Amino acid sequence: MIPNIVNGITVKGIADFAFKGSKITSVDMSACTELEAIGSLAFAKIDTLKSIKFSTATYKIGDSAFYMSALGTEEEGFKLVIPANIKNIYDQAFRECKYLSEVEFEAGEGSVWFDISDTSHESKVFALCENLKKVTLSDRVKTIPSYAFDNCTKLEEVVWSKALTSIDDSAFNYAGIKSVDLSECKELL
């Protein structure tokens, strides 16, 4: 568990590369009442990482923050819940999370923005998550960015946001989706 206060200082962010490549098995940020941002590559390439609990104050997940981390186990997978307080998710934040099996965006106020850093033109936020099977998009998700679910070959079920306004190019490139029903997406351009 990441404490709210370290050496008398309130934790407001997790720095870029802070735990990259470490051997931690879980990340619990729930005690951090003022943790606003998770930095780039902060928890990247952790092959032992099984679970994440976000802070209710966090609103930004930096680019490649959990890139190539296990997120779950081969036997059980992992359901990632993106809380309503998270407003910005940068490119490749969860790319190649090997055991990530389900993603759910919680309902709430405001929208989720998939931001692209200056070095990339594609989101790839969940690209190459080889065991991702289901995605639930709440009405906070208005746009699905380019290559967001690229090569998620086991992705078969998507619960679509009724507030969806656009699906960008190659968003589901080589995904395993067998059917798409967007009839409830009245705002889709």
Q: What is the CA radius of gyration of the chain?
A: 16
Q: Give me the mean pLDDT over the 150-175 stretch.
A: 96
Q: Is the pLDDT of residue 121 over 70?
A: no
| pLDDT attached to residue 66 | 98
Per residue in 94-113, pLDDT (tens digit) is 999 999 999 999 999 888 98
| pLDDT of the residue at 4 | 86
**What is the mean pLDDT of the segment spanning 49-72?**
95
Q: How far apart are CA 161 and CA 167, in angstroms?
A: 11
Do the beta carbons of residue 49 and residue 72 sit within 8 Å? no
Contact between 61 and 91 under an 8 Å Cβ cutoff? The reply is: no
Q: What is the pTM of this model?
A: 0.93
State the pLDDT at residue 110.
85
- Confidence band of 3 (pLDDT split at 50, 70, 90): confident
- Whether the per-residue pLDDT at 166 is higher than 80: the answer is yes
What percentage of residues in the chain have a pLDDT greater than 90? 86
- C-beta separation of 115 from 145 below 8 A: no
What's the half-sphere exposure (Cβ side, CA atoms, 13 Å) at 62?
17
Contact between 31 and 43 (Cβ < 8 Å): no
